Amino acid sequence: MKKHENLVKELLFVLFMCVSIFSIQAQDVLTNELEKYAKENYGDSWIDAAENLSKQLVLDKNSALTYTEIINCGTQTKEQLYTKLNYWFASTFNDANSVIQMNDKENGTIIGVGFVEGIADHIGGFNQYVVHIRPVIKVDIKDTRIRVTYSVQCYNVSKIIGGGWLGSPEEDRVYSEQKWPLTTCWPFAKKDEHHAKKTSSKALVMTHAYSNVIMDKIKEAALNGVVGNENVEW
């Protein structure tokens, strides 16, 4: 019976690793590009970069990290902008992890929940953590302009108990999913409650960097379309 249980655990572990490897490979380019962008703009030290960012970042009334930008879009009508941005959301939020939560043409509001995998990780003495984010991205559309709101309320963390350098054998490891509120993480908490200061630092810097990338992509879609030929006569 014991051998059978160990075999099941081994098979589950292999399956988990296969899925994880596939997911990491699928997002590898995005994560690598984002990390390169973050280092170029904020430096190589995640802790120093996070501390510097914390001087200009304030959590909102819901304890979320929220960015808002109003983008002027020339003479484009609300309907023209809605068509372009609806196309962008549909092509971007198109899998099980990234979904469109609201699409209200009449009121000119589109809300999507994104997913960025593995923006930070940590292998400690006993445990391992991998941090993901699920930013909520809202676009309000009017004639000639749009308002983009990007918000992250917590870090989604995959914890592997026993996955550290001095951890347990593979068959004895325990996998769990956690949510770390930003208020419990450094630098918003003077003492990181998860004992993962460097991981929290990298997560903040990468979250901030992704907000810039998203704002730029939405601005580009609003001004020039997703593929660039939306305004061509046919």
pLDDT digits (tens, 9 = 90+) for 16-41: 434 333 333 334 446 788 888 899 99
For residue 191, the model assigns a pLDDT of 93
Bridge-based pairing state of the strands 128-133 and 136-142: unpaired
More confident residue, 203 or 161: 203
Distance CA 54, CA 48 (A): 10
Q: Is the pLDDT of residue 2 over 90?
A: no
Token pair for residue 124? 């400690």
Bridge-based pairing state of the strands 145-152 and 65-72: antiparallel
Domains defined for the chain, CATH in brackets: 28-224 (3.30.530.80)
Token pair for residue 99? 């979904």
For residue 141, the model assigns a pLDDT of 98
Residue ranges of E strands in the chain? 65-72, 99-104, 109-113, 116-123, 128-133, 136-142, 145-152, 154-161, 174-181
Q: Helix, strand or coil for residue 195? A: coil
- Annotate 29-89 with DSSP letters as a single string: HHHHHHHHHHHHHH-S-HHHHHHHHHTT----TTS-EEEEEEEE-TT--HHHHHHHHHHHH
The reported pTM is: 0.81
